[in-house]
Structure 1
Amino acid sequence: MREGARGAALDTACDVGPMTRRSLLAGAAGLLAAPARAANDPFGPMGRPSWAADSLQAAAARTGLTYGAEVPGFRFARDPAYRQAVAREAGMLVCGTEMKMEVVRPEPGKTDFAQADALVRFARSNGQRMRGHTLVWHEALPPWVRPLLARATAPQAEDFLRRWIETVAGRYRGQIASWDVVNEVLSQDGGGPEGLRESPWLTALGPGYVDLAFRILHEVDPKAAGCWNEDAVEQGVPWMEARRIRVLKRLEGMLARGVPIRRFGLQSHITSTVPIDQGQLRRFLREIGAMGLGIEITEFDIDDRAFPADVATRDRKVADLAKSYLEVVAAEPAVLNVMSWDLYDPDTWLNDHPYRKRPDGLPQRALPLDAQFKRKPLWHAMKAVFGQAPDHSAARAKLR
């Protein structure tokens, strides 16, 4: 969809010389050329729940949990069997890339919501809820945005951030249960301003960009829960424990400042090369819950590169590792959702990541369903954990 000349002013500012506040404000307004959608238009009415009585979602729901999955647009668009599996197993869906700026705003003056809209319509028709991923990240930015932010003044960058969140969160107002407002904001070593990762947003706006993004989302869609989504805070090694301490300190500061954050997300890309310390994990979740925040497991999968090639052995070890992690997760009353990063082995990102590939080159078996959409030992372990967990329905209903 092409937008008018006002939108092009901001989009091309990085190419036509120094920006003025007036030109950037005029251009930022173009981000809103598409009006916000009403809650029931054009995504259709909420349908009857599609998940099966023996599904992961059905097992999770008995204790107040929701099970869901990331859905890659390429697979969703072309594979009916995949869509059937998603409808059968999940009570919540999330786009992998289709709501990120690189897809929604790929070129100056162009906005594309087609893939995200399709998944939202699918979810509504199947009685499934949606998560939003992700509003502010140091990656998934279209090439034209980095130079724009590098040259912007702080007020100009704030205007751009505001218009971006208003555009995407405004379009899906009333459709999204929770948004990953910021994603992977901690630096790896604790360095940087306030321990934040180097990013175009930090450079343009300073450390306050994190609080600002939450405040903007709350203005745009106050019913959507704002979530800070973070990686590498789950397992039992000293450097992850240090990150957990930093998370707790930052959460306390955000709440003290009145930032409208309602949830913390653990990505949970669990690796077989690092142990699970159930005690440390339990304490971490408990301390977040004691702050009155909900917790989400947002991108769960199991990196199996330390396990043998034999499929039966490997699947058993993956299931055991998942069980040791999820039984702590499912026992915490503040945990609301457990989302796997896809649910179908052939699509896992682990096969393409240079540091996550198996040394023997075999495809990873990281997700609940295999290449034939059959339920694996991991699926059965997840269902068993959900089924045996304490019932925290009442506590979780309050946090939602």
Structure 2
Amino acid sequence: MSLRLSSSRTDPVRIPDPSRRAVIAGLAGTIAAPAQAGAGRGSWSADSLHAAAARTGLAYGTAVPVERMQDRAYLAVVARECGILVPNTQTKMLSILTAPGVEDFSETDKVLRLARANGQRLRGHTLVWHDGIPAWAQPLIARASAYQAESFLRRWIGAVAGHCRGRIEAWDVINEVLAQGEIRRADGLRETPWLAALGPDYIDLAFRILHEVDPKAAGTWNEDAVEQSVPWMEARRNLVLRRIEGMRARGVPIHRFGLQSHLASPIPIDERQLRRFLRELGQMGLGIEITELDFDDRAFPADIATRDRMVADYARRYLDVVLDEPAVLNILTWDFYDPATWLNRHPDRRRPDGLPQRALPFDAAYRRKPLWHAMHRAFAAAPDHGAARERLRRV
């Protein structure tokens, strides 16, 4: 039996069998990928955030949204400041599987070309997520048998990771898999179409499929709300550590853990808790990435100078803890200039006074803000763990 995908716009499409052979066969027509981006001379300037970070084996970068790909001023800052990029939406299922039987990589290729032209590394985001599933695929996954759902998952990961093979340093294999709010399952997993169709084993499966398709890409678990000091985040940290211990014992090829780091100013950071969490991840042999950094300034005053100073101070406290950990490899902000932040569009993140958030290191005129300077100083002052980080990058 195979999963038949139907749409009013196209004929049904047959999904290949859920096997390694099927994945490799599906990649046979893929053009060989060029060498990993970032191998040559980079575009960043000597005074950039990436240059300061690279001194200790770190990389700084940003998410790049498709709507900014024609903005010359925006792209100039990307080239000057960044050593690593991640597509905002361009490698998500919703953007690529636009209809049954259709794989559209036109937006993906824009980011691949940009990184290659700038000599920048690339991350991939994201292979398995509860959100970002095309509307046409959602009911099909919901009705699928385990066999059918696995077939579809193999086809999807084989397509996107195969297309980008050799160009992606690390993939967010799973994204936001822990439940939000009340935890109803002992394992803490979010109820998703993938969990319903495949059970908890979908997580291990996704990492194994990526490793079959692109063994040189580091498989990453990307998760939110594990950084700050409230009891429910501590519970999430414990769930993360427990699941990763099990994955390592089962031989799952998980190489990194990503902390999204959408940091909320109303919530404090407990340096001791955070250091312990990072240390335990590192002791399990994982690299660590800060994947979506920004600073929700809702709790700070309206005055811009005061607010910018408080955001910068908060960022420096966080980064001073994070950058002490030798396993931390990359620091990426979720975009880099204030008008682009998602915080202003999210109903739970808007400031009560209605003012726009100042969450990122550049302002609307692409000027470096106090946050930029705090990040630069934190990178420059960080201990040199270059050798340890280079070893982890080779995993």
CA distance in 1, matches of 2:151, 2:102: 19
Offset of residue 90 of structure 1:
0.4
The alignment of Structure 1 onto Structure 2 pairs a total of residues equal to 387
Structure 1 unmatched ranges of 5 or more: 1-6
User: Do the aligned residues in 2 keep the contact of 1:227 with 1:265 (CA within 8 Å)?
Assistant: yes
Match of 1:111 among 94, 103, 110: 103
Name whichever structure is richer in helix by fraction: 1
CA distance in 1, matches of 2:38, 2:367: 31
**SS of the residue 2:323 aligns to:** helix
* Equivalent in the alignment of 2:117: 125
Match of 2:136 among 134, 140, 144: 144
The reply on whether 1:73 has 2:69 as its aligned counterpart is no
The reply on whether 1:373 has 2:366 as its aligned counterpart is yes
* Equivalent in the alignment of 1:38: 32
The worse-fitting range, judged by mean Cα deviation, of 105-114 and 56-65 is 105-114
Offset of residue 10 of structure 1:
3.6
Match of 2:200 among 184, 203, 207: 207
* Equivalent in the alignment of 1:155: 147
Using a 3 Å threshold, how does the CA distance of structure 1 residues 26 and 202 change in structure 2: closer, same or farther?
closer
Give runs of ≥4 in structure 1 deviating > 4 Å.
Answer: 13-16, 26-34, 43-47
Using a 3 Å threshold, how does the CA distance of structure 1 residues 45 and 286 change in structure 2: closer, same or farther?
closer
* Equivalent in the alignment of 1:302: 295
CA distance in 2, matches of 1:13, 1:33: 24
Q: RMSD of aligned C-alpha atoms?
A: 2.4
Amino acid at match of 2:172: D
Using a 3 Å threshold, how does the CA distance of structure 1 residues 26 and 227 change in structure 2: closer, same or farther?
closer
CA distance in 1, matches of 2:73, 2:282: 38
CA distance in 2, matches of 1:10, 1:118: 31
CA distance in 2, matches of 1:112, 1:273: 41
The reply on whether 1:89 has 2:81 as its aligned counterpart is yes
Match of 2:167 among 172, 175, 181: 175
Match of 1:222 among 215, 223, 230: 215
Structure 2 unmatched ranges of 5 or more: none
* Equivalent in the alignment of 1:335: 328
Give a deviation string over 1:194-238, Cα, whole Å, max 9, x none.
221000000110000000000000000000000000000000111
Using a 3 Å threshold, how does the CA distance of structure 1 residues 378 and 268 change in structure 2: closer, same or farther?
same
CA distance in 1, matches of 2:285, 2:110: 34
Match of 1:362 among 349, 355, 365: 355
The reply on whether 1:62 has 2:51 as its aligned counterpart is no
Give a deviation string over 1:301-342, Cα, whole Å, max 9, x none.
000111111110000000011111111111100000001000
CA distance in 1, matches of 2:276, 2:146: 38
**SS of the residue 2:169 aligns to:** strand
CA distance in 1, matches of 2:38, 2:368: 31
User: Do the aligned residues in 1 keep the contact of 2:85 with 2:115 (CA within 8 Å)?
Assistant: yes
Amino acid at match of 1:305: R
**SS of the residue 2:89 aligns to:** coil
User: Do the aligned residues in 1 keep the contact of 2:43 with 2:118 (CA within 8 Å)?
Assistant: yes
Offset of residue 15 of structure 1:
11
User: Do the aligned residues in 1 keep the contact of 2:65 with 2:87 (CA within 8 Å)?
Assistant: yes
Offset of residue 32 of structure 1:
4.3
Match of 1:290 among 267, 274, 283: 283
CA distance in 2, matches of 1:330, 1:141: 34
* Equivalent in the alignment of 1:257: 250
CA distance in 2, matches of 1:27, 1:279: 44
* Equivalent in the alignment of 1:165: 157
User: Do the aligned residues in 1 keep the contact of 2:294 with 2:359 (CA within 8 Å)?
Assistant: yes
CA distance in 2, matches of 1:296, 1:191: 28
Match of 2:391 among 371, 380, 398: 398
- TM-score where L is the length of structure 1: 0.92
